[in-house]
């Protein structure tokens, strides 16, 4: 089975540009999470969805960040306008609430974003 | 207060020896879950092991075991017979609330960088 798929794997952009990160969760998983990882702040949860509905977006740093999940198999994280301090690795993860599961989160390979 | 504390920024261990990575947590929930993830230099996050707050026995998965001490609120990861491929960053994480609920949010610690020496 395919794991969590993220695209692009690497993104280099200039300050002020719009950036869109994409995620396809594991089929059948109904929870999706967006994380940001930096050396300074570690791994931070930005937002998560259950059944395509945003549940907790308290980690979204500011209005420049937005996330959508239009259907069970696709989510986007958009930064507009981007700033150099947004440079980080962005992970998408998914999990399933099936009985007997630990609800462990399965992570995608990440998108390394560099904003110049 | 931090919910997950990993006090060891870095650890070294000789190949074939055992190593313990520390994790303490803070929660007022009675039902919660503790996870360990491994992040090698390639960057992916790999789930290793899980311990539920009501589990009476310590979790084990191959060479990984979790030393769960509920009263002390600690969930240390023990890696037996270390291998060079175990060199990586290790993260402890906690899910508060019961696993059948709707809150699947994980809080991660800062991580411990383990280096296995030949």
Banded model confidence at residue B96, pLDDT cuts 50, 70, 90: confident
| pLDDT digit string, tens, across residues B1-36 | 679 999 999 999 999 999 999 999 999 988 889 999
- Residue B95 confidence (pLDDT) above 70: yes
Would you call B106 and A45 a contact, using CB atoms and an 8 Å cutoff?
A: yes
Check if B12 contacts A (Cβ < 8 Å): no
Would you call A104 and B50 a contact, using CB atoms and an 8 Å cutoff?
A: yes
Q: How far is A107 from chain B (nearest CA, A)?
A: 6
Banded model confidence at residue B56, pLDDT cuts 50, 70, 90: confident
- Residue B41 confidence (pLDDT) above 50: yes
> Chains A and B: how many Cβ contacts under 8 Å?
57
- Region B53-79: mean pLDDT is 95
- Residue B76 confidence (pLDDT) above 90: yes
Would you call A48 and B105 a contact, using CB atoms and an 8 Å cutoff?
A: yes
Phi, psi of A31 (to 5 degrees): -120, 135
Would you call B105 and A45 a contact, using CB atoms and an 8 Å cutoff?
A: yes
**Centroid of chain to Cα B24:** 9
pLDDT at B83: 97
Q: Are B83 and B116 in contact (CB under 8 A)?
A: yes
| pLDDT digit string, tens, across residues A71-103 | 999 999 999 999 999 999 999 999 886 644 567
Closest-CA residue of A relative to B111 is A42
Q: Which of B106, B109, B111, B113 to mutate to test the interface with A (most CBs of A within 10 A)?
A: B106
CB burial of residue B28 (10 Å; 0-12, 13-18, 19+): exposed
Query: What does each C-alpha distance from A9 to A12, A25, A40, B45, B95 come to in angstroms?
Result: 10, 15, 21, 15, 28
Check if A106 contacts B (Cβ < 8 Å): yes
Would you call A109 and B110 a contact, using CB atoms and an 8 Å cutoff?
A: no
């Amino acid at each position: 089975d395919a794991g969590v798929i993220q695209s692009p794997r690497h993104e280099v952009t200039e300050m002020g540009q719009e950036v869109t990160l994409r995620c396809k969760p594991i089929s059948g998983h109904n929870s999706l999470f967006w994380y940001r990882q930096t050396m300074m702040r570690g791994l931070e949860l930005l937002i998560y969805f259950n059944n395509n509905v945003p549940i907790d977006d308290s980690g979204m740093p500011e209005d420049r960040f937005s996330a959508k999940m239009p259907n069970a198999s696709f989510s986007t994280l958009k930064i507009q306008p981007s700033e150099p301090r947004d440079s980080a690795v962005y992970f998408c993860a998914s999990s399933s609430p099936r009985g007997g599961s630990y609800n462990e989160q399965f992570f995608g390979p990440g998108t390394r974003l560099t904003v110049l | 207060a931090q919910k997950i504390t990993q006090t060891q920024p870095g650890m070294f261990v000789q190949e074939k020896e055992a190593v313990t990575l520390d994790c303490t947590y803070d929660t007022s929930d009675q039902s919660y879950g503790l996870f360990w993830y491994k992040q090698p230099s390639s960057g992916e996050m790999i789930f290793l092991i899980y311990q539920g707050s009501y589990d009476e026995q310590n979790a084990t998965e191959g060479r990984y075991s979790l030393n769960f001490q509920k009263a002390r609120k600690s969930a240390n990861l023990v890696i037996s017979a270390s291998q060079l491929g175990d060199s990586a960053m290790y993260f402890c994480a906690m899910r508060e609330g019961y696993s059948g609920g709707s809150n699947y949010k994980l809080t991660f610690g800062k991580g411990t960088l383990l280096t296995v020496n030949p």
